[in-house]
Amino acid sequence: MTVLCHDDLEQNSSEQASARSQWRARVLFVGGGFQGVVGAWWLVRGLAPLTTWLVAGIFGAVVVLAGVTVTSSLLSSAPRPRGSEARRIERRLTVATLVQLSWTVLAPWGLAQLQWQRLSLPFIMASIGILLVWIHREVDVPFQGTAGRLLIGLSIVTLALSGTAQTAFAGLAAAAVLLGCAVASYHWLEHRLNEND
């Protein structure tokens, strides 16, 4: 039977704290860009019933371009963390993200087979919210937990709507939360980087 001494426990705790801290910055950079892209998709969905697809697409493209530009320019400030604990966290984050993306693709198809198409947008919103709350708990990322809980709450409101009203509300609400979270994350990171200079 292996007995861990006090120094070993302290070293493991220190490694875990360091890995979480490094992944916190990495998640904010990468997650901010991802939220910008996903937020743009929701923005296009929300604007489409209110305007033409062309105008909605232009708005979405501008948001994606801005998100990719900012993420690319800042990503070098948060390199991929190293170490066994960091790899464990990376695996968990990757699996959770892939599960959510799979749900986003498969849920609309499955609900359509059951003639429950109006549940697709609320279910996708809720799944993104659950992912953000889980990521917040995993690496203590600021803003993600709040954004996740907002999306879960808004998905419940969306259940009461249908048709064009549901599409517009879900799209604009999700876009506001995701893009707002991305902007807040970048401001927080910029402030932290300025403090370290």
pLDDT in tens, the chain (197 residues): 444 454 544 555 677 888 887 888 788 877 777 888 888 888 888 888 888 777 777 877 877 777 677 666 655 656 678 888 888 988 999 899 899 988 888 888 888 788 788 889 999 999 999 999 999 998 888 889 999 999 999 999 999 998 999 999 999 999 999 999 988 887 887 777 666 65
Q: Is residue 65 part of a domain?
A: yes
Q: Is residue 176 part of a domain?
A: yes
> For the chain, what percentages of helix, strand and coil (3-state, to nearest 5) are there?
85, 0, 15
Domain total of the chain: 1
Range of the domain at 48: 14-75+84-196
Tokens 């993420």 found at: 71
Element spanning 16, H or E? helix 6-47
Note the pTM of the prediction, 2 decimals.
0.80
Q: Is residue 49 part of a domain?
A: yes
Q: Is residue 57 part of a domain?
A: yes
